[in-house]
Structure 1
Amino acid sequence: MNPEEVIQNLETRIKELEDSNLRTYADFENTKKRLEREKTQSLEYAYEKIAKDLLPVIDALEMALKSVDDSEITDEIKVKFKEGLSFTLENFLKTLERYGITQIPAEGEFNPQLHECILQAPSEQHQEGEIVQTLQKGYQYKERVLRAALVSVCKH
């Protein structure tokens, strides 16, 4: 092999190694960006499990508030008890909202991504496919549904 061929072979090999190095670096950068995105998303949805666990507490407070009227205590105590429960529930919901946990609106058009239809009922006041009644409130954490709203939908 003459010296020009050796130089040509070495230059070709250097070019191949430079290309390989660039591809490896690009792969590394892409992996780094993907891992950063996954980390950010994991941190963003870190409260999801605890949020799901707190939903029964909201349900219990709402049921307690409704049951006050059915109890056989004096009207004055009923009013005070309802005020206390309402205040507690309101503060609890505001606190959850600060962390991105919100109630799913359950009126108007039925949305299968947010609502679960468990009953169909005729209604003169609603159009077909509209929500007639909310049987259990639904909640979402940022963009993820924690629990779909259980609803009845109008069927003519």
Structure 2
Amino acid sequence: MKDNNQTNNEELQEELKNEDINQSSDVENEVEETEASGIADDEKFASLDEEFKTKMEAKVAEAQARAKEAEDKFLRTHADFENIKKRLEKEKYNAIDYASEKFAKDLLAPIDALQMAILSANADIPAEDLVEKLKEGIELTVKAFNKAFEKHNITEVEYDEFNPEYHNAVMKVDSDDVESGEIVTVMQKGYTFKDRLLREAMVSVAN
């Protein structure tokens, strides 16, 4: 009887021992699987991190390229603007410096007419013809001046009614032809340039 019990105990101990061994083996397998899974996860994360890094580097490079392109475009636009600004300033200064050039050219015709009148006065012709030649020369000169004035928007002041803005009454005279305060005689003509008064007309007005 004692031998049977001893045998049973030995068998039980052997089973427990085998069970412990199996459990230890299972734990070791689980640890190994966990470690392998961790290594795989690390490799996966490393791969994802490298992919993200590559994408970010590509985006940064693209952004830098766009920024460089925008900077170049801005510099070109700024340079074009400066060139236009300089050209406009030069044109403005030239316009100011040579504003009277066209008017000066148009005054050459009246001068030519005066010179022709002077040449006629020096000619050996009868006095009556000389006076007529001088008159023609003066009329041509006045006509040339009026043409130049008209071309450059210089117009003669009107004299229909007395206007203190355009007329300077230098004297008063008796007149039966016009009402008191109205213009009797134009002693010196007045002129305007566009809408600006160049010179008042000197006039006499009725008492």
Query: TM-score scaled by structure 2?
Result: 0.40
Identify, as 1 or 2, the structure richer in helix. 2
Larger radius of gyration: 2
Query: TM-score scaled by structure 1?
Result: 0.49
Identify, as 1 or 2, the structure richer in strand. 1
